[in-house]
Amino acid sequence: MKRITVLIAAAGLACNLLGELSVAEIVERANQASYYAGDDGSADVTMTITDKGGSVRTREFRVLRMNTGQGTQKFYVYFKKPADLYKQVYLVWKEVKEGKDDSRWMWLPALNLKRSIAPGDKRISFVGSDFVYEDVSGRSLKEDKHELVETTDEQYVLKNTPVNPESVEFASYTVWIDKQTMLPRKAEYYDKSGKLLRTVEAVKVETIQGFPTVIESVAKDLNSGSTTVNTYSAIKYNIGLNERIFTERFLRRPPREAVR
């Protein structure tokens, strides 16, 4: 018995030496690569939501992000288009500690209204698109059990099963992660009967300031037949954002980093 354990341990070591990663390492690195690149960053997003019938809704906004230590992050989302959403702002403080909820605020300029939003479901659609909040800010690694189902030359394929299945709309999801960049390239969400519900795909990736960066991603809702394409431009890392930007005061008076 003891011998077997030693053997397994040795095998594990050998794998690591050969450059193969453990499941925990894979998810951790993928998480870092997709959500934590640099100390902070800024990007312009053009969001195109196309429904089954072909009608299109477009949204343009700038996202400012800042890593604030121990996995916490702050996001400032500033809308430029369409004209009727001009200057609308979402502010999010992301928490990762168990039992701690994110904080969210919004600013609706046409209503001259600032509201704080109660922590709630992170699987809510992001401004009506096929992306959910969790796609934007990342899903806590502790919420799923991860399982490496396949390793190809280029990718790791992971199956992820929620620890608390009642809390989410899916039963499991599979993620394909590029070995080279450690960026997840595709995620497929399935329901209990094994029906594909939703896919999120990183269609285009470029290296910007040394960080592999998704510059186009697509989310599809298979139930409604709706598709959302996000294209990212003017991506900048390590721009030295002031953390004070991510406060309520900057809702009404957007920072120059968002406006210009």
Partner 1 sequence: MKRLKMTLFSTRYPWLIVALTLLGVVFFGAQFPKVKFDNDPENMLARDEHVRVFHNEVKERYRLYDFVIAGVVNTADEDGIFNVGSLRRIDALTRELISLRENADGLPEVIRNGKPFVPDLQPASAWKRMLAHVFGNDVNNLFDEAGHSVIINGEIISPGVVDNIRQDGQGQLAIEYLMEHAPANREEALVVKHDAMNNPLYKGTLVSEDGQAIALYIPIVAKTYSYNVANLVEKLTEEWPESDQIYITGQPVAQDTFGVEMLVQMASSAPLAGLAIFLLLLFFFRRISLIVAPMIVAVVSVVCTMGLLIGLGYDVHIMSSMIAIFLMPISVADSVHILSEFFDVYPRFRDKAETIKHVVSHLFKPMLYTSLTTIAGFASLATTPIPPVRVFGLHVAFGVALAWVLTMTLVPAYIMLFVRTKTLNALKPEEHKEHRGMLSRRLAAVGTLSYRRWKTILFITVAVIVVSIYGISHIRVNDNPVKWFTKNHRIRVADQVLNSHFGGTYTAYLTLKPASADVMNLSRKLTAIRDRIRTRMEKGTEGTQEFEAILDGFMTRSGKSGQVDEKVFFSDLTVRVEALDAQINGVWLTLGDAINYLDPDKVTLPSIMQAVQGKGDVKERQQLIKALESLGDISGAVLQERALEFVDKKTKTSFLSLLNEALAEINAPAFKQPQNLAWVERLQEFLKTVPKIGKTSSAADALKKASFELNYDADADLQRNNSFYSIPQTPSAVAQVFVQLEGMKKKDSLFHLVTRDYGEVNLWVQLKSGDNTDMQSVVEMTKAWIHDNPAPMKMETGWAGLTYLNVVWQEKMVAGMLNALFSSFVVVLIMMVILFRSVLFGVLAMIPLSVTITFIYGLIGLVGKDYDMPVAVLSSLTLGLSVDFAIHFLERAREMTATTGSWKKAIEKMFQEPAMAISRNAIIISVGFTPLLFAPLVPYKTVGFFLATIMAVSWLATLFILAALITGLQKYLFNKEK
Chain residues binding partner 1 by CB under 8 A are: 49, 51, 53, 55, 57, 82-88, 106, 108-111, 113, 115-118, 120-121, 123-128, 169, 191-193, 195, 221, 223-224, 226, 242, 244-245, 249-250, 253, 255-256
Minimum distance of partner 1 from residue 120's CB (angstroms): 5
Closest to partner 1 by CB, 71 vs 109, is: 109
Cis peptide before 109 (omega within 30 of 0): no
Residue 64 CB, shortest distance to partner 1, in Å, is: 13
* Closest CB to partner 1 among residues 4, 111: 111
Residue 79 CB, shortest distance to partner 1, in Å, is 9
Least separation, in Å, of the C-beta of 231 and partner 1? 15
Nearer to partner 1, 40 or 221 (CB): 221
Residue 76: HSE in the Cβ half-sphere, 13 Å Cα cutoff: 26
Nearest approach, Cβ of residue 230 and partner 1 (Å): 15
Please identify, using beta-carbon distances, which residue of 12 and 225 lies nearer to partner 1. 225
d(CA 220, CA 67): 28
Nearer to partner 1, 72 or 247 (CB): 247
Q: Which is nearer to partner 1, 156 or 250 (CB)?
A: 250
Do 246 and 76 contact (CB within 8 A), yes or no? yes
CB of 14 to partner 1, least distance (A): 40
* Residue 172, strand partner residues: 190
Q: How far apart are the C-alpha atoms of 28 and 38, rounded to whole Å?
A: 16
d(CA 253, CA 123): 29
Kindly provide the b/e burial profile for residues 112-141, where b requires at least 16 CB atoms within 10 angstroms of the residue's own CB.
eebeeeeeeebeebbbebbbbbbbbbbbbe
Dist. CA 1–CA 59, nearest whole Å: 61
Amino acid identity for residue 59 in this structure = R
Token digits of residue 240: 């030295």
